[in-house]
Structure 1
């Protein structure tokens, strides 16, 4: 069933009560306290300008174990070439803006609303949201951002302006961080090709404690 959240109480209903598509609740806000409560409960917001805030907790989670990252031979050559320079938390607002505007094949528009940009920027200021930037010379070529929950990096979005730039960001995150799990949330062919896999919600939740 779908629950309506209280405007003042930031608690979430049990995630296992989510609908088949993962939709658990509607309403509430994107305050730092509510967002952090959501992520620690295995819940994340996903909605558009035309809808109220929708909260999801999929029964199966699409995740990437850093040690299982698959890097193709051609991608290894890119990483060794020195073509790109990678930084952490140097241009968070630029990354989230690019994630909301850079066109993606097969997608029409974006789910990253202005409200979301402001909310995750607040989380970044508080030290919970992070960005990985990929630079070609001084140009932002790609990157990703997400929320850090202890051993789990909850990936929100990634973008590329140059070939393999988002893959470079993901590879850097896997190889240069201490996360046990990267939460990709829902299936994409792109991430599946890099080794991401489905796990149960129950297994996912063990990483959040």
Structure 2
């Protein structure tokens, strides 16, 4: 059953999500609703011509920083200082790049102007963060996401040159105190870095109990 949200800041039990993870439709992208969603393992994912759709997949693709796999070639990239990495220096540019980058097998973007405005507000409030990767003073890669407890809920990443997005994620794992990175859905790219599937209930328990300690 797909639930229809109204003006109240409530969500149904994530365990009631459909097989594809779709849980609810409607509501808004206010900061309060977005943070309530992330605190319960729910995130918005929809196209510009659709109502707001809220998902809670039955399995989450997650990365524990202490399980990060860094290849020999990536270790050399980092050691040689190929890129400069910063935190929260260009949030707007990162989310713009994530929305405009061409992705294989994807027509258009789910990062609508409405989404950009909503996450910019979360960033202003200190809940959303970006990692920027620079080369020759040009922004060539990065990622952004939402912090809840000691979990970082990754939203999107982009790369204009080889290894830029990997550098952003490796930096996030090695230079922050997050104990878990929520990658949301499976990709081979993230699996190569050590990400793995986790049952939703285990993930939600971590969010609610903050069981992972840094």
Indicate the TM-score class for this superposition, using the shorter chain for normalisation.
Answer: over 0.9
Aligned-partner Cα distance in 1 for 2:8–2:51: 17
Aligned-partner Cα distance in 1 for 2:150–2:23: 24
Whether the aligned pair in 2 keeps the contact of 1:95 and 1:144 (CA below 8 Å) is yes
TM-score by length of 2: 0.96
Task: State the shift of 1:137 in Å.
Answer: 2.1
SS at match of 2:66: helix
Corresponding residue number in structure 1 for 2:177: 178
Whether the aligned pair in 2 keeps the contact of 1:181 and 1:207 (CA below 8 Å) is no
SS at match of 1:208: helix
Aligned-partner Cα distance in 1 for 2:149–2:75: 29
Aligned-partner Cα distance in 1 for 2:159–2:116: 18
Name stretches of at least 5 consecutive residues in structure 1 with no aligned partner.
Answer: none
The aligned runs of 1:64-83 (5 Å cut-off) are: 64-83=63-82
Aligned-partner Cα distance in 2 for 1:183–1:131: 15
**Do structure 1's residue 126 and structure 2's residue 125 form an aligned pair?**
yes
Corresponding residue number in structure 2 for 1:57: 56
Task: State the shift of 1:97 in Å.
Answer: 0.1
The aligned runs of 1:34-183 (5 Å cut-off) are: 34-183=33-182
Task: State the shift of 1:206 in Å.
Answer: 2.1
Query: How many residue pairs get matched?
Result: 208
Deviations 1:18-64 (A, max 9, x none): 00010000000000000001001110000001110000001111100
Aligned-partner Cα distance in 1 for 2:30–2:92: 18
* CA RMSD, Structure 1 to Structure 2 (Å): 0.7
Deviations 1:102-151 (A, max 9, x none): 11223222111110000000000000000000010210010000000011
TM-score by length of 1: 0.98
Aligned-partner Cα distance in 2 for 1:175–1:205: 24
Corresponding residue number in structure 2 for 1:12: 11
Corresponding residue number in structure 1 for 2:2: 2
SS at match of 2:207: coil
SS at match of 1:207: helix
Whether the aligned pair in 2 keeps the contact of 1:151 and 1:207 (CA below 8 Å) is no
Name stretches of at least 5 consecutive residues in structure 2 with no aligned partner.
Answer: 209-214
Aligned-partner Cα distance in 2 for 1:122–1:108: 27
Stretches (4+) displaced over 4 A:
none
